[in-house]
């Protein structure tokens, strides 16, 4: 596809007809002055060395060279060609168990983290192979369709968490069946299903699913993660998961089940421990599979074409310098010398324009070399220099986003991809920019933003099945996230209601205690007053009895002895 990087310079082409009109006016004035000397035919014979057509040809050549220089300033480019790159490799679908039991820490740092590390190392060893990712627990879904985009594979891998699937358990059969139906239709190429699990199959049917996959020509490999002795499952708050009776749940590796599944699937069972031997065995097993040449669609980048335009303009200037105005060969050397100097000046001008036009391109190429060498930080610097030279270079902006994404500077990478999508004029490259931004947002669980950019990518490239799949997956994940958020909100509201109820009960209880204390205090005061009144009454009665006794006469009792 052809385009101009800086089409605004093309407005300078309007100068060409103005110069032509000015030249015609000058020639008309010249002929008018010549008529003053006499008959034009007689004057022509008096000037035999003057050519009538050479000045017109020279002027036409200069106009054409000027037009080419203006076109060169606009930076013509060819690119975005759809090419087919042939690769020789295999297809691999990884089915990863993300049930709660994979959080056990009998392997370092945990079963799930260890599995992620193995998959990441496997992706790093892939060069021409294709990879897909299925996650499962009590249910299963495709996390990444089969692709050669290893950057997206790592990004989706980093976002895997048991909370992605609300239905807990371990349904290995569904995972194998889903992985088996996720391969391409190409025949003759090795296809492997790698099941990473602790072997606690709660649903059954895994062996039958493995046999069915084998009948389809797919090899099922099982990576058993964990220890057969078992380990508790952390809950994240310093405690371990417990059953209904309050006992700590212990989860162990079911090696016998893993071996049976691998044997039924025509693959091999590999025990994953705290060493690299499992990775080496897996690479060795995958190396045995048949590799076949596959085609991958590649969108080539824009290539600058100003060099060819500049060379053509330079040749025209040299031709104009060599073409003399007069027919006299005696003046050829002098005129040619002068014209050589003019040609040299034009050559310097062309070189300056060329250097100015390729400055940002030079930094982009330099950044590409650094990027392919793995020096992402240096590539970022080069791309930023290219953007400083030409802020409207979409290729530099897009490549900067990729370099930032490699360094896990996700927010800055998304911004660069969005800017590249706005600057890019080709719909395919614009769609790719929005697609990459969507992948990052989806990996960060920003599903609303991811859906918006995926839709924008499909508007520019409706035939992109991968973007369409990611969009549907993102909608599903957003729905699950909203449901989980709703459940969390309900839990939070329930906790708040319970706290409010407890607070009200505490306040009510406190009020009752205060009232009871008040009543007790009141009762104590009344009892004291009653006791005091009783004591005073008794004392009064005692005094009255004593006074009455004093008022009676004294009697003597005589004892007679007879």
DSSP state of 228: T
> Residue 421: CA atoms inside 13 Å, Cβ hemisphere, count?
23
Q: Of 385, 388, 390, 444, which Cα lies nearest the Cα of 412?
A: 444
Q: Read off the pLDDT of each residue in 458-483 and give the average, rounded to a whole number.
A: 85
CA angle 231, 174, 234 (to 5 degrees): 20
Element (H, E) at 489: helix 465-551
Residue 93 has pLDDT above 90, yes or no: yes
Residue 354 has pLDDT above 60, yes or no: no
List the beta bridge partners of residue 96.
Answer: 135, 196
What are the tokens at 87?
């690769």
CA dist 375 and 304 (Å) reads 25
Q: The sheet that has 91-97: what strands, in order across it?
A: 140-147, 130-136, 91-97, 191-197, 218-225, 269-272
Determine if the pTM surpasses 0.75: no
Element (H, E) at 281: helix 277-287
Q: Is 8 exposed, middle or buried (0-12, 13-18, 19+ CB in 10 A)?
A: exposed
List the beta bridge partners of residue 295.
Answer: 86
* Contact partners, residue 160, CB within 8 Å, separation at least 6: 96, 98, 112, 116, 135, 143
The predicted pLDDT at position 300 comes to 47
CA dist 412 and 400 (Å) reads 9
Q: What are 29-38's pLDDT values in tens digits?
A: 877 777 776 6
The predicted pLDDT at position 153 comes to 79
Task: Return the minimum-mean-pLDDT range out of 325-339, 481-495, 512-526.
Answer: 325-339
CA dist 321 and 350 (Å) reads 15
The DSSP-derived string for 131-170 is EEEEEESSSEEEEEEEES-HHHHHHHHHT--GGG-SS-S-
Confidence band, pLDDT 50/70/90 cuts, at residue 142 = confident
The predicted pLDDT at position 343 comes to 53
Q: Read off the pLDDT of each residue in 230-259 and give the average, rounded to a whole number.
A: 84
Residue 487 has pLDDT above 50, yes or no: yes
* pLDDT: which is higher, 334 or 462: 462
């Amino acid at each position: 596809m052809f385009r101009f990087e800086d089409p605004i310079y093309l407005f300078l082409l309007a100068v060409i007809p103005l110069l032509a009109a000015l030249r015609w006016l000058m020639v008309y004035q010249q002929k008018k002055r010549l008529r003053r000397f006499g008959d034009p035919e007689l004057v022509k014979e008096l000037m035999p060395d003057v050519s009538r057509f050479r000045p017109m040809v020279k002027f036409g050549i200069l106009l054409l060279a000027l037009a080419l220089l203006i076109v060169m300033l606009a930076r013509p480019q060819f690119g975005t060609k759809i090419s087919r790159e042939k690769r020789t490799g295999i297809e691999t679908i990884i089915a990863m168990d993300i049930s709660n039991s994979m959080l056990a820490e009998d392997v370092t740092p945990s079963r799930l983290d260890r599995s992620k590390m193995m998959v990441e190392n496997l992706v790093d060893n892939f060069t021409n192979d294709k990879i897909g990712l299925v996650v499962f627990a009590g249910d299963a879904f495709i996390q990444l369709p089969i692709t050669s985009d290893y950057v997206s594979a790592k990004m989706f891998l980093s976002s895997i968490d048991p909370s992605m699937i609300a239905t807990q358990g371990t349904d290995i059969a569904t995972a194998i069946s889903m992985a088996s139906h996720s391969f391409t239709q190409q025949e003759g190429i090795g296809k492997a299903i790698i099941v990473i699990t602790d072997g606690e199959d709660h649903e059954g049917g895994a062996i039958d699913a493995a046999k069915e996959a084998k009948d389809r020509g797919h090899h099922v490999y099982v990576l058993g993660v964990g220890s057969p002795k078992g380990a508790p499952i952390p809950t994240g708050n310093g405690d371990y998961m417990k059953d209904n009776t309050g006992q700590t749940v212990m989860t162990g590796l079911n090696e016998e089940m893993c071996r049976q599944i691998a044997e039924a699937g025509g693959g091999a069972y590999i025990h994953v421990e705290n060493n690299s031997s499992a990775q080496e065995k897996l690479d060795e097993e995958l190396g045995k599979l048949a590799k076949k040449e596959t085609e991958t669609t590649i969108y080539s980048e824009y290539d600058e074409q100003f060099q060819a335009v500049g060379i053509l303009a330079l040749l025209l200037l040299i031709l104009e310098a060599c073409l003399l105005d007069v027919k006299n060969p005696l003046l050829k050397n002098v005129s040619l010398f002068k014209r050589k100097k003019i040609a040299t000046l034009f050559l310097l001008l062309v070189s300056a324009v060329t250097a100015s036009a390729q400055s940002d391109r030079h930094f982009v190429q330099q950044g590409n070399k650094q990027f392919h060498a793995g020096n992402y930080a240096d590539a970022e610097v080069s791309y930023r220099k290219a953007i400083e030279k030409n802020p409207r270079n979409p290729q530099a902006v897009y490549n900067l986003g990729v370099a930032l994404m490699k360094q896990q500077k996700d927010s800055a990478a998304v911004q660069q991809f969005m800017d590249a999508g706005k600057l890019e004029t080709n719909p395919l490259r614009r769609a790719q920019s929005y697609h990459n931004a969507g992948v990052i947002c989806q990996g960060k669980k920003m599903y609303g933003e991811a859906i918006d950019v995926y839709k924008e990518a499909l508007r520019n490239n409706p035939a992109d099945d991968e973007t369409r799949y990611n969009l549907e997956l993102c909608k599903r994940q957003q729905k699950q996230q909203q449901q989980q958020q709703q459940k969390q909100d309900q839990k939070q509201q329930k906790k708040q209601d319970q706290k409010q109820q407890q607070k009200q009960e505490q306040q009510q209880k406190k009020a009752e205690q205060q009232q009871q204390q008040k009543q007790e205090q009141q009762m104590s005061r009344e009892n004291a007053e009653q006791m005091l009144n009783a004591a005073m009454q008794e004392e009064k009665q005692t005094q009255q009895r004593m006074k009455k006794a004093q008022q009676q006469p004294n009697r003597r009792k005589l004892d007679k002895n007879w």
